[in-house]
Amino acid sequence: MNSSTQLLVISAHAADFVWRAGGAIATVTKSGGTAKVIALSYGERGESGELWKEAGQTEEKVKAIRRAEGEEAASILGASFEGMDLGDYPLEIDRAAMERLTAAIREFEPNVILTHAKEDPFNPDHGVAYAATERARQLASGAGVASAFKTIRPPAFLLFEPHQPELCGFYPNTFLDITPVFEIKRAAMDVMGAQGYLREYYSQRASQRANHARRICGDKEIKFAEAFQRITPAVLKGF
Ligand SMILES: [Zn+2]
C-alpha cells in the first residue's frame, strides 16, 4: 500500500468495517492513500442491540446514532463514510441500489475493494453485501475490455475476516501488519458504543493473526494483524 492506494470498504452495516478492516483503512490513510467506507445499511435492526434496550427507542433514532458512530469511526481512521440506508435484517439490493453502488465505485475508482465473505450462516445480510459488491465491481470495471459504458481499472478484490471464519468458508491468504496503526483502530472501535462487546474480541483476533503472520514471514515485530481472503489473483512484475 502506498500514497496512491484508493481503498473502498463496503460494509453491510454501519460498524462491520471497523472490526474487520479498521487496520487496513488506517494503514492506507496513514501512508497518504485515500479510503472510503460505504455502509449499505446502518444495521439499525440487527446490530444495534444495546440501543434497543432504551425505552421508547425508534428506528430513526437508532439509525441516526449508528450513522454518527460510523462517521466518527471512519473519521478516526482517516476515511470518508457514506451510508446508503438500504435497510437491514433483511438487507435487499434492488436494481436502483445496484446502480447506486456501481456508480459509487466508478466515481471513487478504487484499486482495492474489501467486503464481507461470501457466506455467513449467522447473518442474513453479510452474504448479500458480498454478492452486491462482487456484481457492482464487475459492472463498474466491465470484463476488463472496452464496453458500452464507462469502466474503471479492475480493482483488487479481497474479503475481510468474518466473525466465525471457519463457518463462513473464509480462507485467510493475505495478512496485513497493523501494528503501527493499532491504537488508531482501537480508538475507532471505542466509538462503536452499540457493540462494545466486540472490542475485546477483535483485539484478541488481531493478536492471534499477528502470531500467524510472524510464523508465515518471520517478522518478529508484528504484534497486530488483520487477515483477508484475496479473491482476484495478484499480478506481479517480478518476484
Ligand atoms: Zn454486520
How far apart are the CA of 14 and the centre of ligand 1, in A?
7
Which pLDDT belongs to residue 194?
A: 65
How far apart are the CA of 17 and the centre of ligand 1, in A?
9
Q: Which residues contact 104 (CB under 8 A, 6 or more apart)?
A: 38, 82
How far apart are the CA of 203 and the centre of ligand 1, in A?
18
Rounded to two decimals, the pTM is 0.95
What are 123's three cell numbers? 447473518
- For the chain, the distance separating the N- and C-terminal CA atoms, rounded to the nearest angstrom, is 17
Which pLDDT belongs to residue 149?
A: 83
CA distances from 216 to 212, 222, 232 (A): 6, 11, 21
Block means of pLDDT (10 residues each) for the chain, 239 residues, are 87 96 98 98 88 91 94 98 97 98 97 97 97 97 83 96 96 98 97 81 97 98 98 95
Which pLDDT belongs to residue 88?
A: 96
Which pLDDT belongs to residue 2?
A: 66
How far apart are the CA of 61 and the centre of ligand 1, in A?
19
DSSP string covering 115-170, please? E--S--TT-TTHHHHHHHHHHHHHHHHTTSS--SS---PPPEEEEEPPSSGGGGT-
How far apart are the CA of 155 and the centre of ligand 1, in A?
23
Which pLDDT belongs to residue 94?
A: 98
How far apart are the CA of 22 and the centre of ligand 1, in A?
14
